[in-house]
């Protein structure tokens, strides 16, 4: 297929699958606001993908009021009925999986097979099972006899914020436990990937979700601050970067609104000499420099290798990073698409250029021009002999860049691994079982993978420590973020 035909097919697909740009407020579709619209540029082609409406204070208030109106009936919906509804939502997402993957590929540049729908389905299935199992506690009462018990109550209206990478998946990670606990959600879609969440709102309504339980507002910083400041928003949950998180906490502090934050990472990946080097190198290179163009908060972007196998592992890593087919993310044979925007590509390459003075660029390190016309493609990049204290080793790049450095022994590896402000994830590769447990115990991170990159399942708690935030998504801990404890004391004499 020639370049013109490939571009034409890409744009035709966009016309066919993108939903009408709109806000979804209390079951109503709003296509225009006083604040106007914002263009979303297709990262693959550089052309305008579509313009979407910006929500203002008026739209935020409408959405929150609709949620407050829906909340009493929603929280008291019989458990068996809500359980079936969450299961029906999972089946609806499954039925639209290909469509949602295409929308996410268009707006993010992620390969069409990597939209995260399987995990989104998993979250709704898993939390459907929690609806009728989230039980309270009976407390031993003294000094007088009494019936003292604890109930778990939904907060009410949740203000939710999701990042551009995996927008539908990240939305599901918040909606499923919030709905299971009986909350309503007003969600601000990401500016760089608003369309998948818009389509998800349509799918959920068609699946039977009552009006007002879920509203989607596309917008900008002003939209977000209006959600956080609304007096009827009982809690805020956010996934994204530390800078925005600090701003959210500052605004939420005005009314003491509680927050849950899942933030960025600079995850260490420790490869010891006794590991399966082929498997370990593949995980290190593919996850950090190829998969979704390195745009994942938990990716192992700092590779630390025992000195005796350093050159051997580096050679394997470079081979994997040089291997993917890069191009149109809608093409199922393509392994890597563009990063999210041209400005993101500029920022990533600027960080790589800064690192050249102290490290060797052994793969990539440059922009890739394609026949599709976009200027957001960055080659998978590997930096060797990186100073552990350098910017490229300390700050999240959020792009296809892997920083590689040697270590002398276990103590040295742990010291380097724990030397950043982040604490989201970490990884260790070794065939020594005792070492695996020792190192996992010594890593300061909320999530540790041993000898691989584990699936992020709905049943396991995920979240960070230090500058990577607080609170958890997944497992029992995930639903506990959406409830508060109410103690009831009834005297018996």
Contact 300, 261 (CB under 8 A): no
Contact 330, 12 (CB under 8 A): no
184 is catalytic: no
For the stretch 354-359, contacts whose Cβ atoms lie closer than 8 Å and that sit 24 or more positions apart, written own/partner, are: 354/391, 354/392, 355/383, 355/386, 355/390, 355/391, 355/392, 355/403, 358/386, 358/387, 358/390, 359/383, 359/384, 359/385, 359/386, 359/387, 359/390, 359/392, 359/403
DSSP strand E in 120-234: where?
137-139, 146-154, 157-161, 184-189, 214-218
Cβ neighbours around 250 below 10 Å, total:
11
β partners of residue 449:
427
- CA neighbor of 463 nearest in space, from 162, 298, 265, 262: 262
Rounded to 5°, angle at Cα 8 from 6 and 10 = 70
Tokens 């203002």 sit on residue: 56
Q: Which string of b and e fits 264-280 if b means at least 16 CB within 10 Å?
A: bbbbbbbbbeebebeeb
| DSSP helix/strand/coil, 78 | coil
Kind of pairing between the strands at 259-262 and 214-218: unpaired
Q: How far is CA 374 from the centre of its chain?
A: 24
Catalytic residue among 59, 107, 125, 262: 262
In a 10 Å sphere around its CB, with 0-12 CB exposed, 13-18 middle and 19+ buried, how is residue 490 labelled?
exposed
Catalytic residue among 297, 306, 396, 410: 297
What are the angstrom distances between the C-alpha of 45 and each of 3, 6, 199? 11, 11, 22
Q: Kindly give, in sequence order, each residue whose CB lies less than 8 Å from that of residue 24, ignoring residues fewer than 6 positions away.
A: 30, 198, 201, 202, 205, 214, 215, 216
Q: Please state, in angstroms and rounded to a whole number, the distance separating the CA atoms of residues 381 and 388.
A: 17
Q: Please state, in angstroms and rounded to a whole number, the distance separating the CA atoms of residues 194 and 199.
A: 9
Q: Please state, in angstroms and rounded to a whole number, the distance separating the CA atoms of residues 487 and 7.
A: 61
Start-to-end C-alpha separation, the chain? 84
Cβ neighbours around 2 below 10 Å, total:
8
Which tokens go with 31? Answer: 């296509």
In a 10 Å sphere around its CB, with 0-12 CB exposed, 13-18 middle and 19+ buried, how is residue 474 labelled?
buried
Which one-letter DSSP state was computed for residue 42?
A: -
Q: Which residues are catalytic?
A: 262, 297
């Amino acid at each position: 297929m020639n370049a013109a035909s490939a571009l034409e097919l890409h744009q035709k697909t966009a016309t066919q699958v993108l939903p009408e740009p709109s806000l979804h407020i209390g079951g109503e579709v709003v296509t225009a606001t006083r604040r106007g619209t914002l263009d979303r540029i297709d990262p693959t082609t550089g052309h305008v993908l579509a313009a979407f409406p910006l929500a203002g204070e008026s739209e935020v208030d409408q959405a929150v009021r609709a949620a407050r109106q829906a909340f009493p009936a929603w929280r008291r919906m019989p458990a068996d009925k809500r359980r079936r509804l969450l299961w029906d939502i999972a089946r609806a997402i499954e039925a639209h999986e290909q469509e949602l993957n295409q929308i996410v590929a268009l707006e993010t540049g992620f390969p069409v097979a990597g939209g995260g729908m399987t995990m989104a389905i998993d979250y709704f299935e898993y939390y459907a099972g929690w609806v009728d199992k989230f039980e309270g506690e009976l407390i031993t009462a003294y000094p007088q006899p009494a019936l003292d018990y604890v109930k778990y109550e939904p907060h009410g209206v949740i203000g939710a914020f999701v990042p551009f990478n995996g927008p539908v998946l990240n939305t599901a990670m918040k909606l499923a436990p919030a709905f299971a606990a009986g909350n309503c959600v007003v969600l601000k879609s990401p500016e760089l990937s608003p369309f998948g969440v818009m389509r998800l709102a349509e799918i959920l309504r068609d699946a039977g979700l009552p009006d007002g339980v879920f509203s989607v507002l596309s917008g900008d910083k002003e939209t977000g601050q209006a959600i956080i400041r609304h007096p009827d928003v009982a809690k805020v949950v956010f996934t994204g970067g530390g800078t925005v998180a600090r701003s959210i906490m500052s605004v939420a502090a005005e009314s003491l609104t509680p927050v849950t934050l899942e933030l960025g990472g600079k995850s260490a990946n420790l490869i010891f000499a006794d590991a399966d080097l082929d498997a370990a190198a593949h995980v290190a290179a593919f996850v950090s420099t190829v998969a979704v163009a390195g745009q994942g908060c938990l990716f192992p972007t700092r590779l630390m290798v025992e000195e005796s196998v350093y050159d051997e592992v580096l050679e394997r890593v470079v081979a994997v990073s040089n291997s993917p087919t890069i191009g149109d993310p809608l093409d199922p044979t393509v392994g890597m698409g563009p990063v999210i925007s041209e400005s993101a590509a500029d920022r990533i390459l600027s960080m790589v250029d800064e690192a050249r003075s102290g490290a060797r660029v052994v793969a990539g390190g440059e922009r890739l021009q394609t026949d599709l016309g976009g200027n957001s493609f960055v080659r998978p990049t590997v930096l060797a002999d990186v100073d552990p204290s350098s910017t490229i080793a300390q700050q999240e790049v959020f792009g296809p860049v892997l920083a590689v450095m040697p270590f002398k022994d276990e103590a040295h590896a742990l010291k380097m691994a724990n030397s950043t402000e982040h604490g989201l994830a970490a990884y260790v590769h070794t065939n020594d079982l005792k070492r695996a447990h020792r190192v996992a115990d010594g890593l300061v991170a909320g999530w540790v993978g041993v000898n691989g990159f584990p699936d992020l399942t709905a049943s396991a708690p995920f979240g960070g420590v230090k500058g990577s935030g607080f609170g958890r998504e997944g497992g029992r801990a995930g639903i506990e973020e959406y409830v508060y404890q109410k103690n009831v004391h009834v005297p018996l004499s």
